[in-house]
Amino acid sequence: MASSVFSLASATPSASLSSHDIEKGKLNLRNTSLCFKKEKNNPFMKTKSFGRISMVVASNVSRFEGITMAPPDPILGVSEAFKADNHELKLNLGVGAYRTEELQPYVLDVVKKADKLLLEKGENREYLPIEGLAAFNKVTADLLFGADNPVIKQQRVATVQGLSGTGSLRLAAALIERYFPRGEVLISSPTWGNHKNIFNDAKVPWSEYRYYDPKTVGLDFEGMIADIKAAPEGSFILLHGCAHNPTGIDPTPEQWEIIADVIQEKNHIPFFDIAYQGFASGSLDADAASVRMFVARGMEVIAAQSYSKNLGLYAERIGAINVVCSSPDAAARVKSQLKRIARPMYSNPPVHGARIVANIVGDAALFKEWNAEMEMMAGRIKNVRHKLFDSLSSKDKSGKDWSFVLKQIGMFSFTGLNKAQCDNMTNKWHVYMTKDGRISLAGLSLAKCEYLAGAIIDSYHNVS
Amino acid sequence: MIISRFLRRGISTSTSPTRRRSWWDHVTPALKDPINAVTDAFLADPCPYKINLGVGAYRDDEGKPVVLQCVREAEGKTGATNFLESTSTAISSKLVEESAKLIYGEDSDVIKERRFAGIPALSGTGACRIFAEFQKQFYPGSTIYFPDPTWSNHRNIWGDAHVPDRTFHYYHPDSKGLNFVALMDDVKNAPDGSFFLLQPCAHNPTGVDPTDEQWLEISSLFKVKNHFPFFDVAYQGFASGDVERDAQAIRIFLEDGHSIGCAQSFAKNMGLYGHRVGCLSILCNDKIQAVAIKSQLKQISNTMYGSPPIHGISLVSKILSNPDIKALWLKEVKVMATRIQRMRATLREALERLGSPLNWQHITNQVGMFCFSGLTRAEVDQLAKEFHIYMTHDGRISMAGVTTKNVDYVARAIHEVTASDRDIKILHNIGAYKVNTDICSTSLGTKKTRARGMNLAL
């Protein structure tokens, strides 16, 4: 009867016990002695003592015996390998976290100010409502759709504070699983690695649409449109609002219109992941153009937001899920169901990040400051792109077109390097990047562009 | 192509919002969370002397939320460095280590040998949910046993993780105490190796806790049955005022050699409700297994919300690791628990002074934030409508909402609403209607909660 408990364990109870006996022989004895200690204090136990001693030994094995290590996160693994490298020229272009020109992490001034204000205000730490901080929900929807957007005025947007982009995506995925049991999500090939995990764990089936064209190191637009068209009617199409992760390749405004056409034609639902509003072009409004265009067409849209990058609030986990519906009634019902999903996940979202964002976006002076810092950060990345492009063009005499570095947008760039070439980047040049050929420009300084260009050229031409 | 594109666009925007078909037409409004619904009703009430005895959030004697001094001090010491991703991992590890020391005991072998897998979690809810998902993943056919009754969200948490639940006897409506015999029966009759959710102190919603002797017996039977004990620790410090005392149930199980799981919340005992900070830990055979299990727990949380929010984590790890701030915290927990104990005594005295013929011993027998009053649904509704006093439908009173200023009013109101069926209730109290509860008692495996308190089907 006890053996059924261990059916998933790799070892039988007796086998693991014998290994315990050998490795930590004291374990049995110690527990037995504890039993005796208990006998002394507890008069009730005397009659059961014999049974207890024998069973103590049998049940000491963990029932999670057979559990193996989860696969390591590919992106974080890069940072760890970088840390372990002692080479003086090493460069970490792995994780997408903004760094200054001195390659230091950066806390936005406006965030420091907002944090200080919060400390001074000394507000209480009571539970937020399940849907989050009302002030935050208001400003986040205004930021994404535009405060004057009819959908906001008509109360047709269900906005619920979520734990950054990940948490917000998960809420939406759970909503899809609940209300569209046969619904499928289409994600770009490639896309951010965690998208698949989120939909897998939420038990939402997904498939891919073509996106990246390695031949052009650009967008496979024909393939993308064909795959979206071929998907069963009523599919959810996951789109990156701006600054596609990992490629940095965004559709042009004209291409966005065609994508919207096809989605409308096939009665699909557009599902935006906006993790870099402001980081792509430097303008918060410009980066929201794609989402706003879909909404302006009268489409019902799902949009997940994150303030991890654009406000540097990675660790505070602040974001939102928005569902633009065709009526305020639908929005109210959808919001109630998002709350129903959130309550057994974490009850209510964390207050700190929400207050920071609400204070910054809600205060004219702070908001202006934020815009300026946003421009500065995005500007630094644009400059780095230019420098890298110049370095590549001047160093490389083969005539290869490196302009994709300029065409791509946002924190990331898909270099077009294959795995072997990426390995060369790391092993020979001590440049750390993800194996799909993605480099994070946020981790690149102007000073290191020449060096990186050399590494890329060498890897591209001399390794296959 | 261009013309047709404009046409299509024209068609899509021509319909007005109300007539437009929605993807979400089939989405019905969700039922309101029962505890939040109480707060909503309370907020909507314009009466100036309304009282909220619903949600379990501590209030001082002025009825105000409290930010603990230890929290302010910890906050003063932490700065914008919180925001740097590099320090987040270190702070998270510190939180887990300090949380484990707090619940398992600093000198526990589990701590010394690092035989635990732990991750920071989104307070108690988040810790329970991650565990429920973990349980589902590695024991897909298993169920979870809840005490009857339990916190209303437990069922939703394991339910959303697709783990079916059952109940075991816990609360005895006659004695308003623990139904220990039936509890042990249910534990014995459950299939070997079942997963049980236990509340080690200040049971929510009943305030009824087993004695140490009873915990010893429960632990002993768990060993015989090879059950997995999962502890939901939401009130360490709030039951007795002493964090070590409140961890006794867990220490008992540890001494018996159980490899338990534990969800800890710092929402109440540190007043960090809105920061969502807690810890999930699972005891393992050794360090190696702990690493493997931790990686699995992290993976589950990664796809749910990424990493946990750093602010609350940095506060708790600072409070627990700084001896001066920790000493201050322990004092403040004692103050909170003592105030609640005082309010319990005061409320009971007030009811007895009013000449209530009913037995109100349970108000002081029960422990922690909540009192399972025994009030019926009708009486609860009457309290809200006539007296503007709000509590959950099961008659659970959050004692934290009772103050020196409002306790007499609360006593009078309770006396009023219970006085109407006075004769019936006197008879009930002397056992004449015991048969009702026998008929209603559920067998193992059914989810139906029994009629409790003084609600008689007459």
Residues sharing a CB contact under 8 Å with residue A313, sequence separation 6 or more, in sequence order: A111, A307, A353, A356, A357, B83
Q: Quick check: B199 and B215 in contact, CB under 8 A? A: no
User: Does B388 reside within a domain?
Assistant: yes
List beta partners, residue A319.
A162, A306
Q: Name the closest residue on chain A to residue B65, using Cα atoms.
A: A124
Residues B181 and B73 placed together within one structural domain of the fold: yes
- The domain of B47 spans 34-56+337-426
Question: Which of A126-135, A201-210, B17-26 has the least mean pLDDT?
Answer: B17-26
Q: Name the closest residue on chain B to residue A268, using Cα atoms.
A: B23
Mean pLDDT of chain A: 87
Q: Does domain A74-106+368-462 have CATH number 3.10.450.50?
A: no
B232 is catalytic: yes
B44 close to A (CB below 8 A): no
Categorize the per-residue pLDDT at A43 as very low, low, confident or very high, splitting at 50, 70 and 90.
very low
B151 is catalytic: yes
- Residue B422 has a pLDDT of 53
Categorize the per-residue pLDDT at B186 as very low, low, confident or very high, splitting at 50, 70 and 90.
very high
Question: Residue B122: its chain A contacts at CB < 8 A?
Answer: 163, 345-347, 350
Question: Using the beta-carbon criterion (under 8 Å), do B22 and A67 form an inter-chain contact?
Answer: no
User: Does B128 reside within a domain?
Assistant: yes
Domain-by-domain residue ranges, chain A?
74-106+368-462, 127-362
- Residue B96 has a pLDDT of 97
Mean pLDDT, residues A347-355: 97
Which of A174, A261, A330 lies at the smallest CB-CB distance from B24? A330
The CATH code of the domain that includes B417 is 3.90.1150.10
Mean pLDDT, residues A63-90: 84
Residues B81 and B50 placed together within one structural domain of the fold: no
Residue that wins the pLDDT comparison between B243 and A20: B243
pLDDT of A196-246, one tens digit each? 999 999 999 999 999 999 999 999 999 999 999 999 999 999 999 999 999
User: Does B452 reside within a domain?
Assistant: no
- Residue A34 has a pLDDT of 33
Which of B21, B33, B306 lies at the smallest CB-CB distance from A326? B21
Categorize the per-residue pLDDT at B458 as very low, low, confident or very high, splitting at 50, 70 and 90.
very low
The CATH code of domain A127-362 reads 3.40.640.10
- Residue A217 has a pLDDT of 92
Give the residue from B265, B303, B316 with the most A CB atoms within 10 Å of its CB, the best one to mutate.
Answer: B303
State whether residue B196 is helix, strand or coil.
Answer: strand
What's the CA angle centered on A251, arms A249 and A253, to 5 degrees? 140
Mean pLDDT, residues A156-184: 96
Which of B276, B293, B321 is at the close of a domain? B321
Q: Name the closest residue on chain B to residue A69, using Cα atoms.
A: B292
- Residue B31 has a pLDDT of 87
The CATH code of the domain that includes B170 is 3.40.640.10
- Residue A235 has a pLDDT of 97
pLDDT of A242-280, one tens digit each? 999 999 999 999 999 999 999 999 999 999 999 999 999
Residue B34 pLDDT > 90, yes or no?
Answer: no
Residue B303 pLDDT > 50, yes or no?
Answer: yes
Which of B321, B345, B367 is at the close of a domain? B321
Which of A154, A313, A344 lies at the smallest CB-CB distance from B153? A344
User: Does B332 reside within a domain?
Assistant: no
Residues B38 and B130 placed together within one structural domain of the fold: no
Q: Name the closest residue on chain A to residue B82, using Cα atoms.
A: A315
User: Does B189 reside within a domain?
Assistant: yes
Mean pLDDT, residues A121-137: 95
Residue that wins the pLDDT comparison between B6 and B185: B185
- Residue B20 has a pLDDT of 59
Interface pTM, i.e. ipTM: 0.85
Residues B391 and B294 placed together within one structural domain of the fold: no
- Residue A139 has a pLDDT of 98
pLDDT of B124-155, one tens digit each? 999 999 999 999 999 999 999 999 999 999 99
Selecting among B268, B294, B318, B326, the annotated active-site residue is: B268
Residues sharing a CB contact under 8 Å with residue A247, sequence separation 6 or more, in sequence order: A190, A211, A212, A408, A412, A413, A414, A438
Report the share of chain A in percent with pLDDT over 90: 79
User: Does B42 reside within a domain?
Assistant: yes
Total tally of structural domains belonging to chain B: 2
Residues sharing a CB contact under 8 Å with residue B221, sequence separation 6 or more, in sequence order: B184, B187, B188
Question: Which of A352-361, B38-47, B440-449 has the least mean pLDDT?
Answer: B440-449
Q: Name the closest residue on chain A to residue B125, using Cα atoms.
A: A346
Report B:246-275 residues touching A (Cβ under 8 A).
Answer: 255-259, 267, 271-275
Question: Residue B76: its chain A contacts at CB < 8 A?
Answer: 119
Residues B224 and B366 placed together within one structural domain of the fold: no
Residues B97 and B204 placed together within one structural domain of the fold: yes
Long-range (24+ apart) CB contacts under 8 A made by A4-13 are A4/B192, A4/B193, A5/A63, A5/B192, A5/B193, A5/B226, A6/A61, A6/A63, A6/A65, A8/A65, A8/A66, A8/B138, A8/B139, A9/A61, A9/A63, A9/A65, A9/A66, A10/A65, A10/A66, A11/A65, A11/A66, A13/A58, A13/A61
Mean pLDDT, residues B85-95: 83
Burial B177-187 (b: 16+ CB within 10 A, else e): bbbbebbbebb
Residues B272 and B364 placed together within one structural domain of the fold: no
Residue B13 pLDDT > 80, yes or no?
Answer: no
- Residue B58 has a pLDDT of 95
Question: Residue B70: its chain A contacts at CB < 8 A?
Answer: none
CA-based nearest distance B408→chain A, Å: 26
d(CA B437, CA B251): 34
Question: Residue B23: its chain A contacts at CB < 8 A?
Answer: 234, 269, 300, 325-326
Question: Which of A36-45, A58-67, A85-94, A415-424 has the least mean pLDDT?
Answer: A36-45
User: Does B63 reside within a domain?
Assistant: no
- Residue B421 has a pLDDT of 57
B438 is catalytic: no
Report the share of chain B in percent with pLDDT over 70: 85
Residues B261 and B136 placed together within one structural domain of the fold: yes
Mean pLDDT, residues B209-225: 97
**Active-site residues of A: which are they?**
192, 273, 309
Residues B76 and B136 placed together within one structural domain of the fold: yes
Mean pLDDT, residues B262-284: 97
Count the alpha carbons within 13 Å of A84 in the hemisphere toward its beta carbon: 8
Residue A136 pLDDT > 90, yes or no?
Answer: yes
Residues B223 and B304 placed together within one structural domain of the fold: yes
Residues B168 and B90 placed together within one structural domain of the fold: yes
Residues B50 and B104 placed together within one structural domain of the fold: no
User: Alpha helices of B22-163 — where are they, by DSSP H?
Assistant: 34-44, 69-77, 85-104, 109-112, 123-138, 152-160
Q: What is the pTM of this model?
A: 0.86
User: Does B139 reside within a domain?
Assistant: yes
